[in-house]
Structure 1
Amino acid sequence: MKTLLNLIWLIFSGWWLALLYAFAALICFVLIITIPFGIACFRIAVYILWPFGNRVVERPGAGAASGVGNVIWLIFAGIWLAIGHLTAGVAFCLSIIGIPFGMAHFKLIPISLMPLGREIVPSDAHAAYPHYRW
Structure 2
Amino acid sequence: MRVIGNFLWFVLGGVFMGLLWWIVGVLAFITLVGIPWGRSCFVMGQFSFFPFGKEAISREELYQQSDIGTGALGGLGNIIWFIFAGIWLAIGHVFAAVLCFMTIIGIPFSIQHLKLAGIALAPIGKTVVTREVAEAVRMQNANASLVHLRNKR
Instruction: Judge same fold: TM > 0.5, yes or no.
Output: yes
Counterpart selection for 1:65 from 51, 64, 73: 73
- Counting only pairs closer than 5 Å after superposition, residues 117-128 of structure 1 correspond to structure 2 as 117-125=125-133, 126-127=135-136
Runs of 5+ consecutive residues of structure 2 not aligned to the other structure: 61-65, 143-153
Helix, strand or coil at the partner of 1:56: strand
Q: What do residues 2-29 of structure 1 show as CA deviations (whole Å, max 9, x unaligned)?
A: 1101000011122222222112111111
Helix, strand or coil at the partner of 1:95: coil
1:74 aligns with 2:76: no
1:103 maps to which residue? 111
2:145 maps to which residue? none
Judge which range, 76-85 or 96-105, deviates more: 76-85
User: Per-residue deviation at 1:108?
Assistant: 0.3
User: Per-residue deviation at 1:127?
Assistant: 2.6
Distance 1:48 1:112 in 2: 10
Distance 2:122 2:137 in 1: 24
Aligned residues: 132
Kindly provide the amino acid, as one letter, of the partner of residue 37 in structure 2. F
Runs of 5+ consecutive residues of structure 1 not aligned to the other structure: none
Output the aligned Cα RMSD.
1.6
Distance 2:104 2:26 in 1: 36
1:8 maps to which residue? 8
Q: Is the 8 A contact 2:24 2:85 kept in 1?
A: no
Distance 2:38 2:109 in 1: 25
User: Per-residue deviation at 1:123?
Assistant: 0.6
User: Per-residue deviation at 1:86?
Assistant: 1.1
Structure 1 residue runs of 4+, over 3 Å off?
128-132
Helix, strand or coil at the partner of 1:52: coil
Structure label with greater radius of gyration: 2
1:86 maps to which residue? 94
User: Per-residue deviation at 1:131?
Assistant: 5.2
User: Per-residue deviation at 1:88?
Assistant: 1.0
Distance 1:87 1:18 in 2: 15
Distance 1:95 1:66 in 2: 38
Distance 1:52 1:29 in 2: 28
Helix, strand or coil at the partner of 1:81: helix
Judge which range, 14-23 or 117-126, deviates more: 14-23
Distance 1:83 1:27 in 2: 18
1:116 maps to which residue? 124
TM-score normalised over the length of structure 2: 0.81
Kindly provide the amino acid, as one letter, of the partner of residue 56 in structure 1. A
